[in-house]
Structure 1
Amino acid sequence: MKFQYNFNTNIGLKRQQNQDSGFVLPDHGLFLLADGMGGHSGGEIASKLVVQCVSEYFTNTINEKQDLPDMMNPNELVQNSIRAANLAIYQRSTEDIELQGMGTTTVMLLFNNQKLIIGNVGDSRCYFFRPQCIWQLTKDHSLVQEKLRAGLITREQLRTDKSKNVITRSVGFEPHLMVDLYETNVSVGDVFLICTDGLSAQVEDSQILEIVQKDLFEEDNLDKANQSLIDIANAHGGEDNVSVILIKVLGYEH
């Protein structure tokens, strides 16, 4: 598949280090973001480890510039690569007392044969856009989302709840990990966004759509749209690191 994409990360206005990491392997149709957490640089180490482990897993499994071999189940490939990273991070945390408890979110996209497989752990997100429309494709593993689903808080209270930064699942925190998998069909012209909560916790979905609609769908400027998303997150306080990968599907290779 052919893509236009832009990957951008920013430390924000309040943090001393950027604990977000990410990578793109467009020849494999692979895009990933991770938002680390943990003291003594644990968050930064965890997010970099998931990037390293997943990218190595894929490059060791798939030949360069080829689609996934037919005998491989892409869902299993996504799940197993994230689980391999989980074990590596957990093992590292058991070897260094200062890194105990570190972990990271992970949201990962794998495009294959006109389908998209999404792997998700934590509260980083994947959005899907068409003109005038936005859909969140992933479900947050967070305490506030559990409260919302249980009817304990309203949607309007999400951003001000004291537990808004507490996630209920992360890569590397425990030796066993459940990875949420999603699958959807892909058409030429579809637009996808993966982001850390430095964007989604600061900016309403309607404002994200407004930027993508104006900068990408109307002006056909994907790079501008990506930078505008970073800018609006910082304009809303820049409370956290913010990372964004914006992807437009251009066509299929035969």
Structure 2
Amino acid sequence: MSELSHPNSPFRVLPLARLGAGGRWRTEAMRSYGAPVLLWFTRGQGRITINGVTSGYGPHNCVYLPAGTMHGFEMNAQVAGTIIVFPQGSEVQLGLPQDAEHLRLRDADRQIDLSNLVDDLQREMERGAPRAERAMMCHAGLIAVWLERQIASMEDHDRRPKSGARLVNAYTALVEQDFHSVKTVRDYAAELGITPTHLSRVCNNACGRPASAILQDRIAYEARRLLTETRVPIKDIAASLGFASAAYFTRSFQKQTGLTPSAFRKQG
């Protein structure tokens, strides 16, 4: 079961610190979730990478990520906040944004409004009263309206990505779609109509890592997730991630983490 799943509710509301409990890879490695999420940072600061583009975050930053958005963020002991996981497939019903959004709330009233909306949703989920799911959808709808209003108030030039960022966004979207395959950076670059060298250059400019590191990081996260959250045999994990053999997967995984897949599964 995923660290963000909940057996009795289509919603999940939990402290950000819970995500970091399993180690830095739980937050910093490139990953995505199958449901839309909202990150509400209330204390601390660090860097967050969304669709291959890195920027800083600090207190009172709100980040909305549609389902399938590749991301990772630094998480230390000073960082506090909340993550909301919306129900899978609820984007249209709730009117959630179609694109990832990073909002820096400098106005105290906006900060209080969002905190109250998050608290109301969490309270309803914890009460478990009759018709709680319907009530939670109503609270989530209010959060969606709040997001829509904040986005509408932003200037177009504040939201328009630069050409390099658009290219990295396209690359990470392809990786998210096909990282289970045997595709290499050269294959992705060809699909984008550019050279591997140019692709790595724009990735380095956008997030400080080459295209190959983004791809390897995404595969490594998925491998670690499957090893800790499932009992799928290691040879089947290797095959599902496009490795030619379990031995090749073991060598690659050990190079990335310092542990064999078996050892990593045991310690998890």
Same fold (TM over 0.5): no
More contact order relative to length (CA 8 Å, sep ≥ 6)? 1
Higher normalized helix content (fraction of residues): 2
- Pick the structure with greater CA Rg: 2
Greater share of residues in strand: 1
TM-score w.r.t. length of structure 1:
0.30
TM-score (ref. length: structure 2):
0.29
